[in-house]
Structure 1
Amino acid sequence: MLTCATFRNVDALKSTSALFLQTCYALGTIKSIGVYLPVLERDLGLTSTGIGICLGLFNAFAYGPGPVGAYFYQRLRGGFRRCLVMTGAVLATSGLVLASFVNNGVGLALCLSLAGLGSNILSISLIITMNNQSGDDFGIFYGIGNSGYAFGMALVPPLADYLMGIYGWRGSLLVIGGIMGHLIPLTLMVGLDIEGVSNIELDNSHPNERTTDEPFDTIAEETSPCTSGIQTAPLHHLNKAQAETKDVDNTASLEEFSSETSEDTSLIQGSSTGKWDKDVSNKYNVHAGKGRYSQTICSDLYAFGCRIVQDSIYNQDRLMILLMFLSAVYAIINGGWYSFLIPRAVALIDKPSKALCIAYSGAVATFVGRCSSGILVGSKLCDGKYLFLFFTLLNIASLLVDIFVPKIPVMIVTSFITSLMIAERNVLLLVICKDRAHQSHFPVILASYQIAFGVGTFLGSSFAGYVADVAGTANASFMFIAATDFLVFCLMLLSVILDRLQERNIDG
């Protein structure tokens, strides 16, 4: 149940505020480029496909390098970690500023890629920090932080249109880049020392102690909160290991005695050998040592790789692979719809002000969806997968009505419903993946989710623009999105069925 005590977590609130502005920046960048579309086609010679590729590159870099950012964030400490996060804030701001000086589509694509990379570093760092700070309330804080997408959709397009009328598209983009520069001081306020929180949790937890009410074959796993994807042995193996401790202690003394005896014997034998035998043995070790050393490195690397694969969450839970593929397919819908909502409305409606009304409707729905999804997940009223299936069906129906009844009042309602369903499922999907694994696996899951989302959004933006160019109508891109959403429904239904079968096998 959501209480006021949830919002007494000051550290989580700071991370939420920074994530709010970062999400506002991410979607605001996409929407501002959509407003500039007619001018960019004239000044830079871009087509709908070119704009789609540029926005797709922004989305790809905003999600794709997630594992690299997560790796460096987990390894760096103190000031180095702060430098990494601030580099992301500077890149995100400078990408928009530099985009206002480009003269061709290639330059625009490079600048947007740079801005997307900075956005990715910020997003990864803030979400991992928030996860360690918020605990069980992660869904609530994550939903509120992601509600910045709503303000990016509602405030940035009219601001970009207003400033473009005064300063042109270059001056407008420069001003918006300056406004988004507030990411830098806001990110400085975030506490990035997540190890302190993790150590407190580790000290308060006693995984080796079991109460009398717990069954003997408990399979809870003991993990280190500061490592990602590396697990220790289950608890029911620890009892066996503790039982064998005495035997190990007894044999240890015998091994020490035998090693000391062998060392004494080798010293005696070494003193009796000649210098010629030592030279021969040294030459042999020089030639054979290189081969043994290289074999040892290869075997160690192979063993390390096998250990990573065995300890990976994707080896322990194969269904997680399907969920990541589903995330990539779902991201196609996300990238395509957000990228071409305003261009499609401008193409179908003569007055830009009416087209912005559709963006306002979607923005309100995004804010409601992002905030309410965390509360729905936290309340545990219904399984997240069933909610996801229901929202997918409702979104498909809304898209079909929007396609076949392209009237302004209808489009305002359908845009609200579609935006609400996309926002709800954005939070639901990550929480569904997070709840299937231990806390220590979250950086790995988040990094994989970012890759899947980066690939999907790039494909969604590019394919939606290509389909619109080939068909010659903006409605074709929305037909493509509706068909993709039906595939998402089938994949989630398959995951529910497989999950049920696994539960029956375990119970049987």
Structure 2
Amino acid sequence: MSDQLSSSRVFVFVMALFFINFIEMGVLKSFSVLVDDLVIQLNTNLGTIGLIVGIYHSFTYALAPFIAPFVNDMSVTLISVVCAVGSISLSLAYLASDIIQFGSVCLLSGVCYSVVRLAGVILFYKNVRENFSITFGIADTGNAIGMMVVPLLTEFLLETYGWNGTILLLGGLLLQNSIFLLLMKGRPRESEDDDSDVRETSPSSVDSEVDDDVFDEDDDLLQRRRDDGGSRSATSSASVWRCCHCVYTYFGLSLFFEYRHTAGVMFYMVLSGIINTSWLVFLIPHGVSRGFRLSKAVFLATCGGFGNVLGRVAQGPIVDREWMTSLDLTIIFTVINAVVFLLDPLIIDFVLLCIAAFVGGLAIGSRTTLTVVIAKEYFPSDSFSLVYGLQCLFYSVGEPLGGIMAGWLASRVSFSVSFMVLGGVEVLTCLILIPTRYLVTRNTTT
């Protein structure tokens, strides 16, 4: 019997992941609407609220490699329960009377959010294999659209129900993701079908028998030392070695040795985190610094949002129809974004600034979706969850670096200089991706 999903089931998966992304990212961005009220009601400051929201968001990526092996084996029903726990946790924030209570429930909700987001991508990957770039790109637009739509809804709720009622309702909105997750139940897939979608193959698996033999030989050596009257240090060394082996296996670190382009891909994720965070956080302040009113500067975010949505979808046909590989397309969009950033000081007219925001959103949106496509195409299918988890971890390293760097430059010099430096980071990204592309080609041909 064919293992392919019917078109109707594919549509269900696309819509389910779309709304999961839409709700999760929309609720996260809605905190920006609630910030002022939270500062007053919880008797705290902007820095503390920003820290809590930042941790809530960073958990999405930083925890990914730690929970990926568990999420990969969890049932959809259990993941749905985790989603419900996270939703209820956020709803309980409406009872918070101080910042500690608020931070605690947000922390728990952030952990659950990480599980749900990672599970959504893994479930989609396991079940939707035909036209993956197109279908995943459409589903991934939920992030960009949610960032634009849900905060508007939150603003209305805030005026109507206050901050307590708004958080309670946002938690209820998150609870709907439990239903969408249940819709993503699929049939188990055959291992041979999984391997057929990998663009490159390797003669050995990630946890190769060679590695096991090496560890076995070391264990034998340590055992002989103990038999020959070895000291307590030999036993301690064996424990440390075993611990290292567990870490090595659990996080799939053999990928860095099996696939030489892994290091390049992960370094790219760090640089991508720097660029994306800086662009998202400082796009509107950049417009204000140019002398435009806040209402006009906000329109830059709208232009960037539309570009972001288009970019996530546009990469799909290009990759799936094999007009260009995902890595080649990533390099092209990186070059385009580098040019936009480097030309920023010359862009004075507001219309041109809107076009630059649109192009920047187009490049960043497409590269965000292509990240998952790269993990699918250039790594073993049975290691997808590990690869994607590592990508998220390295991305989370770049996020705070981008915010700190761009913010410091903007405060000390100007936003134009800050954006020019981001252009330099994009040039560095190209210098990383081009050799990575060479390693991929070389590995494929050999």
Q: TM-score range by the shorter chain?
A: 0.7 to 0.9
SS of the aligned residue for 1:377 comes to helix
Q: Contact between 1:66 and 1:120, CA under 8 Å: does it hold in 2?
A: yes
TM-score normalised by L of structure 2: 0.77
Of 119, 132, 136, 1:138 maps to: 132
Residue 401 of structure 2 corresponds to which residue in structure 1?
459
SS of the aligned residue for 2:128 comes to helix
Cα distance, 1:121–1:230 mapped onto 2, change above 3 Å: same
Deviations 1:374-407 (A, max 9, x none): 2221121123333222211221333345555465
Matched, 1:177 2:177: no
Distance of 2:334 and 2:5 partners within structure 1: 31
Cα distance, 1:311–1:29 mapped onto 2, change above 3 Å: closer
Q: Contact between 1:149 and 1:363, CA under 8 Å: does it hold in 2?
A: no
Paired letter, 2:15:
S
Of 474, 488, 492, 2:433 maps to: 492
Residue 198 of structure 1 corresponds to which residue in structure 2?
190
Of 380, 391, 396, 2:322 maps to: 380
Distance of 2:138 and 2:23 partners within structure 1: 15
Of 313, 327, 331, 2:273 maps to: 331
Deviation at 1:51, TM superposition (A): 5.8
> Aligned ranges for residues 238-277 of structure 1 at < 5 Å?
none
Distance of 1:476 and 1:415 partners within structure 2: 16
Unpaired runs of at least 5, structure 1:
1-5, 206-218, 224-228, 234-287
Distance of 2:287 and 2:36 partners within structure 1: 13
Residue 369 of structure 1 corresponds to which residue in structure 2?
311
Distance of 2:91 and 2:243 partners within structure 1: 46
Distance of 2:406 and 2:107 partners within structure 1: 19
Paired letter, 2:266:
M
Matched, 1:32 2:30: yes
Deviation at 1:147, TM superposition (A): 0.7
Matched, 1:415 2:414: no
Distance of 1:472 and 1:114 partners within structure 2: 39
Residue 59 of structure 2 corresponds to which residue in structure 1?
61
SS of the aligned residue for 1:382 comes to coil
Q: Contact between 2:134 and 2:320, CA under 8 Å: does it hold in 1?
A: yes
Deviations 1:461-502 (A, max 9, x none): 45545555x4386666645544433332222234235556x4
SS of the aligned residue for 1:155 comes to helix
Q: Contact between 1:18 and 1:190, CA under 8 Å: does it hold in 2?
A: yes
Of 101, 112, 116, 1:118 maps to: 112
Residue 144 of structure 2 corresponds to which residue in structure 1?
150
Distance of 2:39 and 2:292 partners within structure 1: 18
Cα distance, 1:398–1:148 mapped onto 2, change above 3 Å: same
Deviation at 1:61, TM superposition (A): 0.2
TM-score normalised by L of structure 1: 0.69
Matched residues, number = 423
Matched, 1:90 2:31: no
Paired letter, 2:325:
D
Distance of 2:203 and 2:264 partners within structure 1: 23
Deviation at 1:23, TM superposition (A): 1.9
Paired letter, 1:188:
L
Distance of 2:395 and 2:80 partners within structure 1: 21
SS of the aligned residue for 1:230 comes to coil
Q: Contact between 1:34 and 1:339, CA under 8 Å: does it hold in 2?
A: no
SS of the aligned residue for 2:184 comes to coil
Q: Contact between 1:150 and 1:365, CA under 8 Å: does it hold in 2?
A: no
Q: Contact between 2:127 and 2:186, CA under 8 Å: does it hold in 1?
A: no
Q: Contact between 2:83 and 2:112, CA under 8 Å: does it hold in 1?
A: yes
Cα distance, 1:170–1:489 mapped onto 2, change above 3 Å: farther
Deviations 1:155-199 (A, max 9, x none): 123223333344444444443333333212222222066xx2236
Residue 154 of structure 2 corresponds to which residue in structure 1?
160
Paired letter, 1:119:
Y
Cα distance, 1:27–1:476 mapped onto 2, change above 3 Å: farther
Residue 246 of structure 1 corresponds to which residue in structure 2?
none
Deviations 1:203-230 (A, max 9, x none): x99xxxxxxxxxxxxx86486xxxxx33
Deviation at 1:373, TM superposition (A): 1.5
Residue 129 of structure 1 corresponds to which residue in structure 2?
123
Of 357, 375, 380, 1:438 maps to: 380
Deviations 1:395-452 (A, max 9, x none): 1333345555465433332221111110111122332243222211212111111211
Unpaired runs of at least 5, structure 2:
211-228
SS of the aligned residue for 1:197 comes to coil
Paired letter, 2:27:
T
Cα distance, 1:36–1:400 mapped onto 2, change above 3 Å: farther
Deviation at 1:133, TM superposition (A): 0.9
Distance of 2:50 and 2:248 partners within structure 1: 41
Matched, 1:230 2:207: yes
Q: Contact between 2:5 and 2:128, CA under 8 Å: does it hold in 1?
A: no
Distance of 1:479 and 1:42 partners within structure 2: 37
Residue 70 of structure 1 corresponds to which residue in structure 2?
68
Deviation at 1:343, TM superposition (A): 5.5
Paired letter, 1:191:
K
Of 261, 267, 273, 1:319 maps to: 261
Q: Contact between 1:53 and 1:462, CA under 8 Å: does it hold in 2?
A: no
Q: Contact between 2:23 and 2:146, CA under 8 Å: does it hold in 1?
A: yes
